[in-house]
Structure 1
Amino acid sequence: MLRDIKPYPLVLKNCLIAGMTIFSSLALSQPATAPRAEAIYFGGNILTMAGDTPRYAEAVAIRNGKIINVGSKAAALQLRDERTRMVDLAGKTLLPGFIDAHGHTWMTGFQKLSANLLPPPDGQASDIPTLLSLLKEWQSKNPVAIDKVGWIIGFGYDDSQLAEKRHPTAADLDQVSTEIPIVIIHQSSHLASMNHKALELAGITAASPNPAGGVIRRLADGRTPDGVLEEMAFFAPMFKVLASFDQNASEKIALAGADYYAQFGFTTAQEGRASKQITQTWHKLADEGKLKIDIAAYPDLQAESTFMSEAGTKKTYRNHFRIAGVKLSLDGSPQGKTAWLSEPYVHVPPGQPADYRGYPAIPKSDDLQSLVNQAFNNNWQVLAHTNGDAAADALINAVAKAEKRYGKGDRRTVMIHAQTVREDQLDRMKQLGIVPSFFSMHTYYWGDWHRDETLGKDRALRISPTQSALKRGMWFTEHHDAPVALPSSIMILHTTVNRTTRSGAVLGEDQRVSPYIALKSITDWASRQYFEEKSKGTISVGKLADLVILDKDPLKVDPATIRDIKVLETIKEGKTIFSQN
């Protein structure tokens, strides 16, 4: 019996092997089973942003947070089953999710929760009495916050838009309170004004010297601080205020900023010039699974060199967060007259000589070179705040020297703002692979001011020279620099295309670009800036299902009405994270 049974296991084994071989060969000879689509979008203007000219698709299918089909509706329907969610766009427009080429997400949340001192159309602060009234109103509505932080904080005033055409002073702010310290931050985020109590707490007196890279503005006697602080004179005391926020407050501010970005269609945001504390806040929120959009942080290398040496950068996100590179700041703001120019300002600030050209934020060229070298040596991407053309020269020269020492590589150094960059500088930038990230929103918000007050007509007509870059075959990105401006994707598009000022004048008609190119600057090209072109930036198979739905197609409306377009829905990896409904 045992001998009769012995062959059977061997026969059974051989049969199983033969059967599996036949099954495998049959499976390999058949096309792979198409994955079920979790959602199919159809019935609207689906603009893929893939390619140099506009391409539309009839439908897009997504699964597991990624795009699995782009093309005809018939092809997409092949992936449908009874569980597939069919989304009829009803004539609306579907685009890749917008990518923030430069902004400050945490500070945007800070702005959102502070007293809104923006001028029209984004706020109501059109003169100093109104500004003071807004501060008093915020004070009356936020006693708990003031008690916890110990300060009254306002954000967004702009002397160029105030009827008085000047900065509020300590004497002005004392009308709100002489007992509670007050700081109001200029819309550029490069200047601020404090009341006398705040100056006292900051230790700023008539005997205080101007710090390196900053200015304490004075009264007519040339000694007494008037309350207005520029650059490092403002940053140092402000950092102390921010450091007083506990972890819970920091997290609430961060999430408020990220939520605000999502309302404008952004699925990727930037934390530019991040401190160690704010970077750690984002890390914690990511670890707790609280981030809905991707946050790419660029810590301030000058302030956080030791931290960066410990933390390093990451190529991929973990729970929607990564440290992507480092930030350097080479100068200030042109609207605040602190940007570093090669030629003088048209009208210099009070107390400055006629040949005043602004000043560098990093006064010693050797110090700048050391920072750029450190980044190149560690292969950290550099984002450099560079508004004035003198600052642009400094960055270009530093990158050229670092490249000779460490090799070219695919570094994608980014010149943030590049507002007054000259034609010869664009030539050198192309040679060095420096990416310009322009700030065309200035043409609307400060275009008249630049033409008449800061730069003069010739230089103002060329701010953010997008066409000059295109003619050289350079791709570029555009940004909002929130909280300098609201994180409005639509205003980025509108200003990049139209270049109209508040008064309705066209500022540099020859630098206008098409709506499609403007869209490229916050989708496809912005993904390249982040080294994320394989996963973001276009509606293409295999990429993340990061999408935005607009009520109208920017390519099919009168360009002058682009600013009226509304963001209806923001989708991150297939999940709706913002909806007007």
Structure 2
Amino acid sequence: MKLIIILFSVVLAGNSCSNDPKVAIENIETSTQRLYCNAKIFTVDEANPWAEAILIDGNKILFVGSDTEAEKIADNNAIKVDLQGKLILPGFHDVHMHPMEVGSTTTAFVLDEEDTNAENYIPVIRKASKDNPNVEWLIGFGHSINTLFNAKRNPLDIIDEAVSDRPVIIMEQTSHSMWINSKGLALAGITVDSPNPQGGIIMKEGKNLLGILIDNAGDVAFQQAVTSLNDAEGEYDGMVSYVLPELVKHGITSVCDARTYWKRAQHKIWKDLAADNKLTARFNLGLWAYPTEDDATQIASLKRLFSNNENSLLKINQIKLYSDGITHNTTAALHQNYKEDIFGLPTNNGLNYFTQERISKYIRELETVGFDFHIHAIGNRGVTEALNAIEESGTTEGRHRLTHVEIVEATDMNRFAQLNVTADVQVAGDFTQPAYWHDNDYLLGTELADNQIPIKSLKEAGARITLSSDWNVSSLNPFVGIQNAVTRSPQNISLEEAIKAYTINGAYVMRQEDKVGSLKKGKLADFIVVDQNIFNVSVNQINSTKVVLTVFDGEEIYRRR
């Protein structure tokens, strides 16, 4: 496994844990034992929460405790690394991100999310088309759907004016809608008479298409566009050249891919990365459950893809599906109606990618194989129905989690603990902070918009909480999420709980809490060293913390300059 970045001026190696500045890193690979000492170690082990030293042999932890005791246990020739009082934490777990999508080279251009005039995008799209003459579909990213909603003319006319001779599709910055031109609509087989697909909406005004595909309607077309590019090599290269280095830089040693498009053979790219010894973290894949697929056929296919080799860094043991959409385009599933009606459908309380009945069916069929479920649920009805489905499935072996959980009914708080369902939340994005809760008052009403992502209430109700990034929706940096989690009063948690949410709790949902997630004898050596003690600095300085050393499976794979 390669060392990603070589220089790290603070870590010193020698024959003792002294502060002798003359000692340099050399011959560091001559012993199987390595002693990291003179440190502040938050172990996330309730029996031994704080320590000074950690002794490893190969990829295993032999001892965690005092410097004195560690010296007694260590071999005479053990490499000793003096950390000069630096803080050690277990390696971070990010159990909801989209690494292969982030690293993909399919996006040819990016629109400015802050631009409120859709007409301004015409020259940008035209230039992208000129710069990419040989791609079958021109793919973009980044606009706000509100910019299209507020356009003075039909958004389809605007994008057609930009490019009309080949298909163009642009993913909105939340990924929950697509802007598509007439050529793209035709290739996707979408006409004004096309019915809305499960979990999606084809926006129309009278007998005119608007070129906006909401939620799964857009995803179906987008997958067609991406498949046409046949970019497996680009996805592989993006992982190696960008994504994996970013993970180690931020101390992330375990990851859940929150949407593996198996029909595009992304799982095979992951297997190639593992076979080529490129992985620098432990990965669990969440196979995407396609809402429009026949259930029996899809369930049979998913069963065949299950893989849970304990000795592999790559496991295919999770299912990702959506209960509902998102709030700001009124597709998150609510128990009540939205205050505004955007789509003019028979109901105005959100939509379902998967109904409660279907979710329950998938859990019953796939949990017995060994799959755990990762269920997107944002609205209060989406949360209730997902919890109901888990309860109705009648199974007991799963380690399921609901992700986002932005709006939760008081009557559902206790059910997370009762059903052993983890609440996976993302608070790294500014939009999740209390100052922004009431931006959606016009859709939700003041009362419902208040108290979003209620992590304190969930914790007090006994729920297990994980913090994750949903990268690249929000910052990958775990210290941004940790700072926001402890400062977002009235829905905040303690610093210790925030760290647990990024470590041992994440290890639990990945079924590896016996191996990693805390630092104790017998576990694998996944840990990080950081440049400041986040227990001593102001809570508003936590997000400035930098990882200076990442140790993964006993190897130093990243050192900061």
Please indicate, yes or no, whether the TM-score normalized by the shorter chain is above 0.5. yes
Matched-pair contact (CA < 8 Å) for 2:357–2:389: no
Q: Deviations over 1:521-575 (max 9, x none)?
A: 0101111122211111112122121122322222222112222222333321122
Partner of 2:93: 99
Shifted more, 380-389 versus 75-84: the winner is: 75-84
Q: Which residue of 2 aligns with 1:13?
A: none
Equivalences for residues 491-506 of structure 1 within 5 A: 491-499=480-488
Query: Alpha-carbon deviation of 1:449?
Result: 5.5
Mapped contact 1:340–1:387 kept (Cα < 8 A) = yes
TM-score (ref. length: structure 2): 0.83
Q: What's the counterpart of residue 357 of structure 1?
A: 349
**Partner Cα separation in structure 2 for residue 211 and residue 193 of structure 1:** 17
CA distance in 1: counterparts of 2:324 and 2:39, whole angstroms: 45
Asked whether the 8 Å contact 1:315–1:324 carries over to 2, the reply is no
Q: 8 Å contact 1:114–1:154 — kept in the other structure?
A: yes
CA separation of 1:559/1:452 partners in 2, compared to 1, >3 Å: closer, same or farther? Answer: same
Matches of 2:65 and 2:123, distance apart in 1: 55
Consecutive unaligned residues of structure 2, counting only runs of 5 or more, are 1-29
Alignment of 1:68-83 (within 5 A): 68-78=62-72
Which stretch of structure 1 is more off in the superposition, 87-96 or 390-399? 87-96
1:215 to 178, 193, 201: 201
Task: Work out which of the residue numbers 433, 456, 460 in structure 1 matches 2:449.
Answer: 460
Deviation, 1:321, is 0.6
Deviation at 1:80, TM superposition (A): 5.2
Question: What is the distance in 2 between the residues matched to 1:540 and 1:393?
Answer: 38
Matched, 1:193 2:179: yes
* Residue 518 (str. 1) matches residue 498 (str. 2): yes
Distance of 1:126 and 1:550 partners within structure 2: 40
- Find the aligned partners of 2:98 and 2:327 in 1 and give their Cα distance: 19
Task: State the partner residue of 1:369.
Answer: 360
Q: Note the alpha carbon deviations across 1:235-271, whole angstroms, 9 max, x for none.
A: 1111112223243223224434333333322111112
TM-score by length of 1: 0.80
Match among 380, 393, 403 for residue 371 of structure 2 = 380
Identity of aligned residues (%): 24
Q: What displacement does 1:519 show?
A: 1.1
Q: 1:568 aligns with which of 544, 548, 551?
A: 548
Structure 1 residues 438 and 246: CA distance shift in structure 2, 3 A? closer
CA distance in 1, matches of 2:148, 2:428: 19
Aligned to 1:480: 469
Aligned equivalent of 1:182, options 168, 174, 182: 168
Kindly tell me: are residues 521 and 116 of structure 1, through their superposed partners in 2, closer, same or farther at Cα, counting changes over 3 Å? farther
Q: CA RMSD in A?
A: 3.2
1:250 is aligned, of 232, 235, 242, to 235
Instruction: State the match for 1:287 in structure 2.
Output: 275
The whole-number CA distance in structure 2 between the counterparts of 1:367 and 1:532 is 29
Instruction: Check 1:313–1:565 CA distance in 2 against 1; reply closer, same or farther (3 A cut).
Output: same
The 8 Å contact of residues 37 and 80 in structure 1, kept in 2 or not, is answered as no
In the TM superposition, what whole-angstrom CA distance separates every residue of 1:33-54 from its partner, at most 9, and x where no partner exists? xx965332234432212229x9
Q: Per the alignment, do residues 128 and 46 of structure 1 end up closer, same or farther by CA in structure 2, a change over 3 Å counting?
A: farther
Q: 1:331: how far off? A: 0.8
SS at structure 1 position matched to 2:523: coil
Shift of residue 151, structure 1, vs aligned partner? 3.0
Conserved in 2, the CA contact under 8 Å of 1:127 and 1:163? no
Q: 1:333 aligns with which of 322, 326, 330?
A: 326
User: What is the rounded CA distance, in whole Å, between the counterparts of 1:238 and 1:384 in structure 2?
Assistant: 21
- Listed as ranges, the gaps of 5+ residues in structure 1 are 1-34, 500-508
Q: Any conservation in 2 of the 1:450–1:456 contact (CA below 8 Å)? A: no
Match of 1:421 in 2: 408
The residue that corresponds to 1:239 in the other structure is 223
Counterpart amino acid of residue 87 in structure 2: T
Match of 2:216, as an amino acid?
A: M
Deviations 1:60-84 (A, max 9, x none): 2222122222112223334556764
Query: Equivalent of 1:229, from 203, 210, 213?
Result: 213
Where does residue 310 of structure 2 map in the other structure?
316
Residue 46 of structure 2 aligns with an amino acid whose one-letter code is G
Which residue identity does 2:314 align to in structure 1? Answer: F
Contact in 2 for aligned 1:125/1:162 (Cα 8 Å): no
| Residue pair 2:44, 2:90 contacting (<8 A) in 1 also | yes
Q: Distance in 2 between matches of 1:308 and 1:285?
A: 21
Query: Counterparts of 2:526 and 2:117 in 1: how far apart (Å)?
Result: 41
1:413/1:352 CA distance change after superposition, 3 Å: same
| Maintained 8 Å contact 1:113/1:253 | no
Letter in 2 for 1:230: I
